[in-house]
A and B are shown apart, each in its own frame.
Chain A
Amino acid sequence: MSRIMGLTGDGAVAYAVKQCKVDVVAAYPITPQTLIVEEFSEYVHNGEVHTEFICVESEHSAMSACVGASLTGARVFTATASQGLALMHEILYIASSLRCPIVMGVVNRALSAPINIHCDHSDMMGSRDCGWIQIFVENAQEAYDWVIQAFRIAEDPDVLLPVTVNLDGFILSHSLEGVEVLDDADVEKFVSTRKPVFTIDPDKPITVGPICFTDFFFETKRQHVEAMNNSPKTISKVNDEFAELTGRRYGFIDTYEMDDAEAAIICLGSTAGSAMAVAKKLRDEGKRVGVIKPWVYRPFPAEQIIDACKDLKALAVLDRACSIGAPYGPLCNDVTAALYKENVRLNVFNVIYGLGGRDITPFDIEAIFNETLEVAKTGLIKKPIKFVGVRE
């Protein structure tokens, strides 16, 4: 059974967390994540959850408390954005290396300076090597659905890695949508309770977080890589079960009209929705365009993306973040590396857009599609990196 609720993106996250019967939430407020902690506080203060909500004094302590809680065997959630994620950075690596299946909502927001509260992906991209599974969603429904799936993925003994669910600040976090929510009982059944692989149970003492010198450190990292490499199996399994329960099918990537596309856009988050709407219009005009939206950013779905691109002649990779000094923006670095690795020659150019919440309009997107079609026709890339929406 399900019903429709009017929820903001943040509200959808908070509601999913409530239904997942989380033991501990340790979080610190930051725009545009605040609605999550505020709404969750309501649940706590109205006695609707058994959760211990630790109103920590910083995000650094939030993640530290989450790791401590997770090591006891508890189910743990936190949420943050931007500066908060940056402040957690040190502990993000520890959470994943200690194999703590924490789920975190990241409400994407630009990183200072200048300080800015609006959406871009520089927060998550700045921490993309932290060893967490990373999901990006397009709307509040996806946020709700992925949070529920995230607990299953994270806590699976074959994975045991923390998961971030990224949603665009304000664009998603603060917009009200009709979200189809599941009954509490269905969610409870789907996520079940956490069955930890190891814990710090004082009756079976273990040592967690010792110092590993040159003789063992590398081995622990290699294990971590393996856990990430193994995670796709679990992600698919969870996606399948979720589809069975809800009829909503998720995977590593979502595609729109890619079957016979010759030009396409690949982008993360809410922009993909706009891109699909524009693509529909262009399709109606007879242009063979498509859209790729990675849901899963780490582990990077190289195989699925390459497969979606197999008949493509040109691809525009949209990055809502810079990797200043690198060949491209973060997503484009990944896409081009994946293509190179599989020996696929494809004309790719990178579009940097939307920093600090700058709008990307349907006209911008249409222009990008048209340029991609041009590249598809001529095989010529005029500018490998374009900044769209910035004043010269």
Chain B
Amino acid sequence: MATLRDLSTEELFTSGHRLCAGCGAGIIARMTMKALRGPTIVVNATGCLEVASTIYPYTAWKVSWVHIAFENAAAVASGIEAAYKAMMKRNAWGKKVDIIAFAGDGGTFDIGIQALSGALERGHDFLYICYDNEAYMNTGIQRSGATPHGAATTTSPAGTKIPGKPEFKKDLIGICAAHGIEYAATASPAYWNDYITKVRKALEVDGPAVIHVFSPCPVGMRFDSSKSIEVARLAVQTRYWPVYEVENGRYKLNIKVPKPKPVSEFLKVQGRFKHLFQPKFKHVIDEIQRYVDENWERITKLCGEA
């Protein structure tokens, strides 16, 4: 992908959807559609993107789009892929169809991890995109296995004793890559070129591919709607969100961050971390910084950078 001018002006994810103002999921959906290479079907797990983009009788999708339930996007995609394969064998279908499954972090890290693992293990040819806004936003900001340490959600509130979520985030790409799939990557919509390039690359893979993309959510992460891309950029520049890819088991760092900003720069712009800036919870910020440093070291080592 060279320049923005080269991207199509056709909007396969249209205006008129009802995602909140400044929603990262909308940006991701739009960008994804700019990377398509041919006939495509989108499968969407229950969550903000699904609910807000298809309020009957309106749909923001100009590709065929299917929503079945919360935990099964990967299984539904498996069925679609297998069906076209079988119909090709009996000459009832003639062309390649790309299948993209979108699911939130809840639909991926938690309730959907089994269906995802099964589909990856079976090797279906589809692209799974987890847009990670780090909580169950659609049901009112509850914690998920992707919610970071210290973040306040409605089920991990900023209490006087327990300051937000005690646990840390799962390593989704590690889990996916461990299935031996050909392509897995992280991304941030702030780096549009990297993201769109990855979507295209992932579509070109024969077999399953996974993209884990940071999805800024002004409502659930609590920042001004104008800051979505800024927050998505800070996530990368603080090394909170390493942007890398795993191709046939080989890790590669896509965005180098030689002079990282302290993670507090990322935390302080978001209301979900506000409580950590009280003196008594200062240690939690240190814990997060330590986690970020260790995670970065681990990833960059895997990428052969360290």
Judge if B57 is at the interface, Cβ distance under 8 Å. yes
Q: Which chain B positions have C-beta within 8 A of A91?
A: 68-69, 72
Judge if B29 is at the interface, Cβ distance under 8 Å. no
Q: Binding site of A, secondary structure by majority: helix, strand, loop or mixed?
A: loop
Residue contact A61 to B66, C-beta cutoff 8 Å: no
* Alpha-carbon gap, A303 to B11, bound state (A): 54
Residue contact A23 to B76, C-beta cutoff 8 Å: no
Judge if A372 is at the interface, Cβ distance under 8 Å. no
Instruction: With both chains docked as a complex, state the minimum distance between the C-beta of B42 and any C-beta of chain A, in angstroms.
Output: 9
Residue contact A65 to B82, C-beta cutoff 8 Å: yes
Residue contact A208 to B61, C-beta cutoff 8 Å: no
Residue contact B66 to A210, C-beta cutoff 8 Å: no
Judge if B16 is at the interface, Cβ distance under 8 Å. no
The interface stretch among A69-77, A238-246, A329-337 is: A69-77
Residue contact A72 to B87, C-beta cutoff 8 Å: yes
The contact sample of 11 A-B pairs, CB cut-off 8 A, is: A24-B79, A26-B82, A61-B72, A61-B115, A61-B119, A68-B80, A94-B68, A202-B97, A205-B61, A206-B65, A211-B56
Residues facing A in B20-68 (CB within 8 A) are 39-41, 43, 50-51, 54-57, 59, 61-68
Residue contact B75 to A61, C-beta cutoff 8 Å: yes
Q: Contacts A50-B89, A55-B122, A207-B65 known; A65 to B75 CB distance under 8 Å?
A: yes
Residue contact B64 to A202, C-beta cutoff 8 Å: yes
Closest 7 CB pairs of A and B: A68-B79, A57-B118, A65-B79, A210-B54, A61-B75, A202-B39, A209-B67
Instruction: With both chains docked as a complex, state the minimum distance between the C-beta of A153 and any C-beta of chain B, in angstroms.
Output: 21
* Alpha-carbon gap, A181 to B267, bound state (A): 69
Judge if B280 is at the interface, Cβ distance under 8 Å. no
Judge if B83 is at the interface, Cβ distance under 8 Å. yes
Q: Which chain B positions have C-beta within 8 A of A207?
A: 54, 59, 61, 64-65
Residue contact A61 to B86, C-beta cutoff 8 Å: no
Q: Contacts A65-B78, A69-B79, A72-B80 known; A202 to B41 CB distance under 8 Å?
A: yes
Q: Which chain A positions have C-beta within 8 A of B65?
A: 200, 205-208
Residues facing B in A171-223 (CB within 8 A) are 193, 200-213, 215-216
Residue contact A67 to B79, C-beta cutoff 8 Å: yes
Judge if B4 is at the interface, Cβ distance under 8 Å. no
Residues facing A in B124-164 (CB within 8 A) are none
Q: Which chain A positions have C-beta within 8 A of B97?
A: 202
Residue contact A209 to B39, C-beta cutoff 8 Å: no
Using a CB–CB distance below 8 Å, which chain B residues touch chain A? 39-41, 43, 50-51, 54-57, 59, 61-69, 71-72, 74-80, 82-87, 89-90, 92, 97, 114-115, 117-119, 121-122
Q: Which chain B positions have C-beta within 8 A of A211?
A: 50-51, 54-56
Among residues of A, the one whose C-beta sits closest to the C-beta of B98 is: A202
Q: Which chain A positions have C-beta within 8 A of B76?
A: 64-65, 67-68
Instruction: With both chains docked as a complex, state the minimum distance between the C-beta of B133 and any C-beta of chain A, in angstroms.
Output: 18
Residues facing B in A21-68 (CB within 8 A) are 21, 23-24, 26, 50-52, 54-58, 60-62, 64-68
Q: Contacts A67-B76, A94-B69, A202-B97 known; A57 to B64 CB distance under 8 Å?
A: no
Among residues of B, the one whose C-beta sits closest to the C-beta of A58 is: B114
Residue contact A52 to B85, C-beta cutoff 8 Å: yes
Residue contact B87 to A202, C-beta cutoff 8 Å: no
Instruction: With both chains docked as a complex, state the minimum distance between the C-beta of A154 and any C-beta of chain B, in angstroms.
Output: 16
Residue from B62, B69, B86, B122 in contact with A24 in the complex, judged by beta carbons closer than 8 Å: B86
Most A Cβ at <10 Å: residue of B55, B61, B74, B82:
B82
Instruction: With both chains docked as a complex, state the minimum distance between the C-beta of B93 and any C-beta of chain A, in angstroms.
Output: 8
Instruction: With both chains docked as a complex, state the minimum distance between the C-beta of B11 and any C-beta of chain A, in angstroms.
Output: 13
Q: Which chain A positions have C-beta within 8 A of B83?
A: 23-24, 52, 68-70, 72-74, 76
Instruction: With both chains docked as a complex, state the minimum distance between the C-beta of A302 and any C-beta of chain B, in angstroms.
Output: 32
Residue contact B118 to A56, C-beta cutoff 8 Å: yes
Q: Contacts A200-B41, A211-B56 known; A57 to B121 CB distance under 8 Å?
A: yes
* Alpha-carbon gap, A68 to B119, bound state (A): 13
Interface residues on A, range: 35 or more
Q: Contacts A55-B122, A56-B118, A58-B114 known; A71 to B66 CB distance under 8 Å?
A: yes
Judge if A90 is at the interface, Cβ distance under 8 Å. yes
Residue contact B78 to A23, C-beta cutoff 8 Å: no
Residue contact A61 to B118, C-beta cutoff 8 Å: yes
* Alpha-carbon gap, A51 to B87, bound state (A): 9
Most A Cβ at <10 Å: residue of B41, B63, B77, B86:
B86
Q: Contacts A60-B71, A74-B87, A216-B57 known; A208 to B79 CB distance under 8 Å?
A: no
Most A Cβ at <10 Å: residue of B54, B79, B86:
B79
Residue contact B92 to A200, C-beta cutoff 8 Å: no
Residue contact B82 to A69, C-beta cutoff 8 Å: yes
Among residues of B, the one whose C-beta sits closest to the C-beta of A50 is: B89
Q: Which chain A positions have C-beta within 8 A of B39?
A: 202-203
Q: Contacts A54-B122, A211-B55, A212-B56 known; A68 to B75 CB distance under 8 Å?
A: yes
* Alpha-carbon gap, A57 to B92, bound state (A): 28
Residue from A50, A206, A208 in contact with B86 in the complex, judged by beta carbons closer than 8 Å: A50
Instruction: With both chains docked as a complex, state the minimum distance between the C-beta of B25 and any C-beta of chain A, in angstroms.
Output: 15
Q: Which chain B positions have C-beta within 8 A of A216?
A: 56-57
Residue from A26, A57, A67 in contact with B114 in the complex, judged by beta carbons closer than 8 Å: A57
Residue contact B72 to A52, C-beta cutoff 8 Å: no
Among residues of A, the one whose C-beta sits closest to the C-beta of B61 is: A207
Instruction: With both chains docked as a complex, state the minimum distance between the C-beta of A179 and any C-beta of chain B, in angstroms.
Output: 26
Given contacts A65-B76, A91-B68, A205-B63, 13 further A-B contacts (CB under 8 A): A23-B83, A23-B90, A26-B82, A57-B117, A57-B118, A61-B114, A62-B75, A64-B76, A64-B79, A68-B68, A71-B80, A76-B83, A209-B67
Residue from B56, B75, B79 in contact with A60 in the complex, judged by beta carbons closer than 8 Å: B75
Residue contact A200 to B80, C-beta cutoff 8 Å: yes
* Alpha-carbon gap, A211 to B67, bound state (A): 9
> How would residues 91 to 117 of chain A score, 1 for a CB under 8 Å from any chain B CB and 0 otherwise?
100100010000000000000000000
Residue contact A202 to B79, C-beta cutoff 8 Å: no
* Alpha-carbon gap, A215 to B55, bound state (A): 11
Among residues of B, the one whose C-beta sits closest to the C-beta of A65 is: B79
* Alpha-carbon gap, A91 to B69, bound state (A): 8
Q: Which chain B positions have C-beta within 8 A of A69?
A: 79-80, 82-83
Q: Which chain B positions have C-beta within 8 A of A200?
A: 41, 64-66, 80
Instruction: With both chains docked as a complex, state the minimum distance between the C-beta of A223 and any C-beta of chain B, in angstroms.
Output: 13
Most B Cβ at <10 Å: residue of A50, A72, A206:
A72
